[in-house]
């Protein structure tokens, strides 16, 4: 090789080595050629894990990790069209520029798809499970659906779920819940339904939720509803479970201020602080609510504070601390007779105004949960909570007064184990709850404590249970669910009012309950399920805490309700296009507890012999065209007393009062990528019987609500505006019915047309 040949070769080699060195240095410094960033939920600023990031021109893709991060390597300098997509979110397209110099990470904020978000539910088994894998009918309400309401009572959002009925006495938090016709046999509060907040029960040891004033919907991430007996895990709850799950600390710290204003003097102010400082995440929320009310004697003043602190001890271990406080004072307008309703629907009930009926409740509650994961196969979850409630509730003839201290805990161990050709996900758990209530009720002297004492007693309630669940996978398409529970409820009442005799006493109720279910996946989009389950409901403290003569003390005659539920259903979900779910059920109840109409309010109860609840539930949704979506729900209820004879007559074959035979919901929503949105909801409810004899009827009604707004999310701030018109067609109706009222006051009139507006501004640090 001569010199003339060697020189060009050396020059070429030098150039190649120089270019390679420069490229290696640039890549080592993370500069040009590398595109990085985060993908977050626009509203909650939480990671959108498993989203896909695509550079169309180069055909390069990357999957977003659990923390929301992504990275695309070896990207030449230039401008590209980048697309971010994730199931349940609107696809995002944006032009990005990559230079040879180090590029700052991008941040992409994604908006939730209005209808067709992949739902994962944790309430059924305590572990995250896709809805399509469950063997029971479920429902989910997201934060976005709550955001277009005034977010005061659960009735504003739960009525969209087929089979669920939520009613408010006076457009406040005094809400009564029913699932498949169960839970209505009381003039206030909720029975037969387990109400939880972050897994912590609002219900007492007997399964009664006397009030829901401690729940603040402004800090809710989602609500999960499982319909039908859930005794296999939650003990005494033959109707279902409502679990309110609060927000976690935001990935990006922010402070938010929100104001809501509306008709009848409604005004609500909120301040929220959320963020994280690794290994901590935090959320603090404060709200003040005030309204004069649609009816006379209906003022409300309420304060709520919520706190949540999460601590990541390591990648697999987490601690969460919860605190909630509430102070609620509300006037009670009372129920009206048909004549009073016709004369003036905005008046207060005569006795409620005469006795200045009110509900004054203060509460403090704390909880702590511990979660430890061992790989993907094993986990341990434990929770402990405590609660203190002071209440003064003057109602006609009696001034209810007392305090209640509660504490409890739950521990659950889950693991996966293959047995032969089956895949088993097993859960073993135990729970304990104790309530200690001191009651001293007085005569009601125009809203003040009178001299006469009507009740002086101490109530001790204990609920202990152990349970076992096994989800069994057979092949690729078939799953079985087996559950077994033992629940023991002990009630003791010590009566210190000896003027009418010593009515002290104790009762013990215990029972084994089981659940058997199966799910078969015909295709990836279509699954069928069925289940058989038993329910067990002891008398609640309200029911057992009145003897048959209407006095205080213990009712020695009430027996637990026992139920058997049969259900079949299915779910069809075509990603990004449509979903349909349906269920058909038959619930048989023995010894159903019903109010007698003796006492005021309904303070004595008896066991009806047998009741039957047959029903059909249909729900669905579809993305009709681009940004237009539709949701629908229909419920058919054929609920009747198979055998029921009491001192007032023979009601066998009569329809169970309080529940309509037909209910329909439809919601149409338009959401443009610019942030402008609008929606219309329609609720149609059939006639409702108000007494056991089916002689008094609440007329059917149709209520339409319209809303519109604007929301825009930027890196440093967000703005949300809302305007809403409820009862757009100015319908006069009553959604809340008092069954078998002694004085014929069956009706709580609902507001006519009313308006609502809100402004929310958040700043991200």
- Judge contact between 273 and 247, C-beta under 8 A: no
Same domain (yes/no): 76, 206: no
| Ranges of residues in the chain whose predicted pLDDT is under 70 | 1-32, 102, 114-120, 124-126, 185-188, 230-232, 235-238, 550, 576, 597-603
Q: Are residues 24 and 38 in the same domain?
A: no
Task: Report the CATH number at residue 226.
Answer: 2.170.130.10
Q: What's the confidence (pLDDT) of residue 601?
A: 46
Residue 115 lies in a domain: no
Pick from 185, 83, 336: which is nearest to 739 by CA? 185
Q: Which of 240, 259, 281 is the last residue of a domain?
A: 240
CA distances for 333 relative to 170, 338, 407, 444, angstroms? 7, 15, 33, 16
Q: What is the pTM of this model?
A: 0.87
Q: What CATH number is associated with residue 68?
A: 2.60.40.1120
Tokens 């104001």 appear where? 259
| 219 located within any domain | yes
- Report the candidate in 333, 276, 305, 310 with the shortest Cα–Cα distance to residue 44: 276
Residues 21 and 162 in one domain: no
Q: Are 153 and 53 in contact (CB under 8 A)?
A: no
Q: Are residues 491 and 591 in the same domain?
A: yes
- Residue 650: count of CB within 10 angstroms of its CB: 12
User: According to the model, what pLDDT value does residue 15 have?
Assistant: 37
Strand partners, 483: 469, 515
Asked whether residue 284 falls in the same domain as residue 313, the answer is: yes
Within 8 A by CB and 6+ apart from 145, the residues are 157, 160
* Domain match, 4 and 127 both: no
Q: Is residue 641 domain-resident?
A: yes
Verify that 549 and 570 share a domain, yes or no: yes
**What per-residue confidence (pLDDT) applies to 695?**
94
Q: Are residues 186 and 129 in the same domain?
A: yes
Structure token digits, residue 124? 């059924």
Establish if 715 belongs to a structural domain: yes
- 510 shares a domain with 438: yes
Which of 88, 110, 132 terminates a domain? The answer is 110
Q: Per the domain annotation, does 407 fall within a domain?
A: yes
Let me know if residue 79 belongs to a domain: yes
User: What is the total count of domains within the chain?
Assistant: 4
The reply to whether 6 and 37 lie within a common domain is: no
pLDDT one-digit tens code per residue, 459-502: 999 999 999 999 999 988 999 999 999 999 999 999 998 887 78
Structural domain includes residue 508: yes
Backbone dihedral angles phi then psi of residue 129, each to the nearest 5 degrees: -140, 135
Domain closes at, from 85, 110, 135: 110
* Same domain (yes/no): 253, 226: no
* Cα–Cα distance measured from residue 570 to residue 568, given in angstroms and rounded to the nearest whole number: 7
Q: Are residues 155 and 290 located together in one domain of the fold?
A: no
Alpha-helix residue ranges (DSSP H) falling in 519-567: 541-544
pLDDT at 6: 42
Tokens linked to 469: 């669940």
Quote the pLDDT of residue 26. Answer: 35
Contact 123/603 with Cβ under 8 angstroms?
no
CATH code, domain carrying 372: 2.40.170.20
Domain assignment present for 124: yes
What pLDDT was estimated at residue 31?
Answer: 42
Determine the structural domain holding residue 56 and report its residue range.
31-110
CA distance 267 to 86: 37
């Amino acid at each position: 090789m001569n010199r003339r040949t060697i020189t060009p070769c050396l020059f070429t080699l030098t150039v190649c080595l120089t270019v390679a060195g420069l490229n290696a240095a640039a890549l080592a410094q993370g500069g040009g050629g590398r595109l990085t960033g985060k993908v977050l939920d626009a509203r909650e600023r939480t990671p959108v894990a498993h989203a896909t990031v695509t550079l169309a021109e180069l055909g390069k893709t990357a999957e977003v990790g659990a923390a929301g991060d992504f990275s695309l390597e070896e990207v030449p300098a230039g401008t590209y069209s980048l697309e971010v997509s994730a199931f349940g979110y609107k696809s995002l397209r944006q032009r990005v520029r990559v230079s040879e110099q180090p590029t700052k990470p991008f941040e992409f904020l994604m908006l939730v798809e209005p209808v067709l978000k992949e739902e994962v539910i944790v309430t059924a088994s305590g572990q995250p499970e896709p809805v399509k894998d469950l063997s029971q009918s479920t429902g989910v309400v997201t934060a976005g659906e709550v955001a277009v309401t005034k977010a005061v009572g659960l009735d504003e959002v739960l009525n969209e779920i087929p089979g669920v009925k939520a009613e408010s006495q006076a457009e406040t938090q005094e809400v009564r819940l029913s699932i498949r016709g169960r839970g209505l046999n009381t003039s206030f509060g909720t029975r037969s339904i387990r109400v939880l907040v972050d897994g912590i029960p609002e219900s007492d040891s007997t399964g009664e939720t006397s009030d829901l004033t401690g729940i603040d919907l402004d800090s809710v991430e989602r609500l999960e509803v499982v319909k039908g007996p859930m005794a296999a895990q939650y003990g005494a709850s033959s109707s279902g479970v409502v679990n309110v799950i609060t927000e976690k600390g935001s990935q990006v710290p922010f402070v938010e201020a929100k104001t809501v204003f509306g008709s009848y003097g409604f005004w609500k102010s909120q301040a929220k602080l959320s963020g994280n400082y690794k290994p901590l995440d935090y959320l603090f929320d404060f709200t003040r609510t005030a309204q004069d009310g649609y009816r006379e004697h209906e003022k409300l003043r309420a304060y709520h504070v919520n706190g949540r602190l999460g601590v990541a001890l390591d990648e697999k271990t987490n601690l969460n601390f919860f605190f909630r406080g509430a102070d609620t004072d509300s006037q009670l307008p009372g129920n009206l007779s048909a004549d009073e309703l016709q004369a003036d629907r905005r008046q207060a009930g005569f006795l409620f105004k005469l006795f200045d009926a009110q509900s004054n409740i203060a509460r403090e509650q704390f909880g702590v949960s511990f979660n430890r994961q061992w790989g993907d196969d094993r986990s341990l979850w434990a929770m402990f909570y405590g609660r203190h409630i002071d209440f003064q509730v003057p109602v006609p003839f009696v001034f209810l007064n007392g305090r209640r201290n509660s504490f409890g805990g739950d521990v659950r161990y889950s693991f996966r184990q293959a047995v032969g050709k089956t895949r088993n996900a097993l859960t073993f758990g135990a729970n304990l709850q104790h309530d200690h209530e001191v009651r001293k009720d007085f005569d009601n002297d125009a809203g003040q404590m009178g001299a006469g004492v009507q009740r002086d007693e101490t109530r001790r309630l204990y609920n202990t249970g152990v349970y076992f669940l096994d989800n069994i996978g057979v092949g690729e398409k078939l799953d079985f669910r087996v559950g077994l529970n033992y629940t023991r409820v002990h009630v003791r009442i010590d009566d210190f009012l000896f003027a009418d005799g010593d009515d002290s006493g104790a009762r013990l109720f215990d029972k084994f309950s089981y659940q058997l279910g199966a799910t078969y996946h015909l295709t990836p989009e279509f699954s069928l399920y069925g289940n058989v389950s038993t329910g067990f409901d002891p008398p609640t403290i309200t029911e057992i805490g009145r003897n048959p003569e209407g006095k205080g003390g213990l009712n020695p005659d009430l027996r637990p309700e026992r139920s058997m539920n049969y259900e079949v259903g299915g779910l069809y979900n075509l990603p990004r296009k449509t979903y349909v779910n349906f269920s058909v059920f038959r619930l048989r109840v023995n010894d159903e507890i019903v109010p007698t109409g003796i006492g005021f309010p309904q303070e004595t109860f008896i066991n009806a012999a047998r009741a039957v609840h047959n029903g059909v539930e249909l729900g669905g949704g579809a993305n009709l065209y681009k940004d237009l979506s539709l949701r629908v729900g229909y419920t058919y209820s054929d609920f009747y007393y198979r055998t029921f004879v009491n001192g007032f007559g023979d009601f066998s074959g009569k329809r169970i009062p309080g529940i309509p035979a037909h209910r329909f919901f439809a919601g149409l929503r338009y959401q443009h990528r610019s942030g402008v949105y609008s929606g219309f909801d329609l609720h149609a409810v059939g006639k409702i019987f108000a007494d056991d004899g089916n002689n008094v009827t609440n007329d059917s009604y149709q209520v339409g609500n319209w809303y519109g707004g604007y929301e825009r999310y930027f890196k440093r701030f967000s703005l949300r505006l809302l305007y809403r018109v409820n009862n757009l067609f100015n319908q006069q109706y009553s959604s809340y019915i008092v069954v078998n009222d002694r004085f014929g006051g069956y009706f709580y009139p609902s507001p006519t047309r009313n308006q609502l507006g809100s402004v929310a501004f958040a700043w991200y640090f």
